[in-house]
Amino acid sequence: RLVDGVRAQTFELCSSATLLAELLDVLSRGKFAARLLQAGLTPQGIVGELCRLAYMAAPQTVPRVVENDADDDHVLACALAGQADLIVSGDRHLLSLGGRYQGIPIVTPAQAVQQIA
């Protein structure tokens, strides 16, 4: 539903080259790739569409915030660089930051759908 909102220009998706590269890596892993193949999708196709739909932020610095997963710091850097109104993630490390990062709410995808709908 969130991607449908981006397609309909209800709201804007902000990402970065680093985040999309990580997504491609994750979606290319066995369990995800098999599910995508069954649905007639490819990791490259999904990431390509997101690249076309998203505002591509270019963070100049990546703060060291998330102790247990430095990759999550890129999400925070992207949100700051893109002046995001909301960080949407199911990642437990990001969600454990207390629901906000520098004033930007951090919510699950389900919470985002409720807020945006």
Structure tokens at 117: 């709908």
Question: For 15-52, what is each residue's pLDDT tens digit?
Answer: 999 999 999 999 999 889 999 999 999 999 999 999 99
Structural domain that includes position 82: 2-116
CATH number of the domain bearing residue 65: 3.40.50
Cα–Cα distance measured from residue 79 to residue 57, given in angstroms and rounded to the nearest whole number: 8
> Looking at residue 102, what is its pLDDT?
95
User: Among the residues of the chain, which ranges form H helices?
Assistant: 2-7, 17-27, 30-38, 43-53, 72-81, 92-95, 109-116
Confidence band of 3 (pLDDT split at 50, 70, 90)? confident
Q: How many domains does the chain have?
A: 1
Adjacent-strand bridge partners of 107: 88
